[in-house]
Chains A and B, each alone.
Chain A
Amino acid sequence: MNELDVISVNIWQIIISLANLVILYLIFRKFLFKPVKEIVAKRNSEVMAEYDKATKATNEANELKASWEEKMQTADDKADEIIKNAIEKADHRSEVLLYESREKAESIIRKAKAEAERDKLDAQATIKQEIVGVSAAISEKIIGREINMEDHRDLIDSFIDNMGDE
Chain B
Amino acid sequence: MSILLLVLALLPIVAGVLIRVLYVPATEGITVTGAHIFFTIDLPLGGLPITESQVNSWLVIISLFFFCLFLTYNLKTKNISTRQVIAEWIVESVDKLVKSNMGDFFMGFAPFITAILGISAMSSLMTLFGLFPATSDINVVAGWAILVFFLITYYKLKAGPFVYLKSFTEPIAVFAPINVASEFATPFSMSFRHYGNVLSGSIISILIATGLGGLSKFVLQWLPEPFSSFEIFRIGIPAIFSIYFDIFSGCLQAFIFAMLTMLYVSGGFPADEYFKRKAMKQAKKINN
Q: Is A20's CB within 8 Å of the partner chain B?
A: yes
Contact B46 A32 (CB under 8 A): no
Q: Is B229's CB within 8 Å of the partner chain A?
A: no
Chain A's closest residue to B41 (CB) is A12
Interface of B is mostly: helix
Contact A3 B140 (CB under 8 A): no
Contact A24 B33 (CB under 8 A): no
List of B residues within 8 angstroms of A24 by Cβ:
61, 64, 115, 118-119
> Interface digits, B36-64 against A, CB 8 Å rule (1 contact, 0 not)?
11000001011111010110011001001
Q: Is A13's CB within 8 Å of the partner chain B?
A: yes
Cα A3 to Cα B43 with chains together (Å): 18
Interface residues of A in 34-79 (CB under 8 A from B): 35-40, 42-43, 46
Contact B143 A35 (CB under 8 A): no
Q: Is B138's CB within 8 Å of the partner chain A?
A: yes
Contact A46 B77 (CB under 8 A): yes
Contact A13 B36 (CB under 8 A): no
Contact B88 A4 (CB under 8 A): no
Number of A residues, CB within 8 Å of B:
40
Point out the residue from B51, B57, B77, B137 that lies within 8 Å of A43, measured CB to CB.
Answer: B77
Q: Is B68's CB within 8 Å of the partner chain A?
A: yes
Interface of A is mostly: helix
Point out the residue from B35, B48, B116 that lies within 8 Å of A4, measured CB to CB.
Answer: B35
Q: Is A143's CB within 8 Å of the partner chain B?
A: no
Contact A6 B45 (CB under 8 A): no
Q: Is A163's CB within 8 Å of the partner chain B?
A: no
List of A residues within 8 angstroms of B168 by Cβ:
none
Contact A33 B35 (CB under 8 A): no
Contact B142 A15 (CB under 8 A): no
Contact A23 B143 (CB under 8 A): no
Number of B residues, CB within 8 Å of A:
53
Contact B33 A4 (CB under 8 A): yes
Cα A37 to Cα B43 with chains together (Å): 42
Point out the residue from A3, A5, A17, A31 that lies within 8 Å of B68, measured CB to CB.
Answer: A31
Contact B114 A13 (CB under 8 A): no
> Interface digits, B103-145 against A, CB 8 Å rule (1 contact, 0 not)?
0000000111011101100000000000000000111111110
Contact B144 A17 (CB under 8 A): yes
Q: Is B91's CB within 8 Å of the partner chain A?
A: yes
List of B residues within 8 angstroms of A20 by Cβ:
57-58, 61, 119, 140, 143
The verdict on A32 contacting B34 (CB below 8 Å), with A10-B139, A24-B61 known, is no
Cα A13 to Cα B140 with chains together (Å): 7
Q: Is B209's CB within 8 Å of the partner chain A?
A: no
List of B residues within 8 angstroms of A14 by Cβ:
139, 142-143, 146
Contact A3 B64 (CB under 8 A): no
Which of B's residues lie within 8 Å of A, judged by CB? Answer: 25, 32-37, 43, 45-49, 51, 53-54, 57-58, 61, 64-65, 68-69, 71-72, 75-78, 84, 87-88, 90-91, 110-112, 114-116, 118-119, 137-144, 146-147, 199
Further 17 A-B residue pairs, CB within 8 A, beyond A20-B58, A27-B65: A1-B37, A2-B36, A4-B35, A4-B137, A8-B138, A10-B139, A12-B48, A13-B54, A20-B143, A23-B61, A27-B61, A31-B65, A32-B72, A32-B87, A36-B90, A38-B75, A39-B77
Nearest 10 A/B pairs, CB to CB: A17-B143, A4-B34, A13-B139, A18-B143, A29-B111, A12-B48, A31-B68, A24-B115, A28-B111, A39-B75
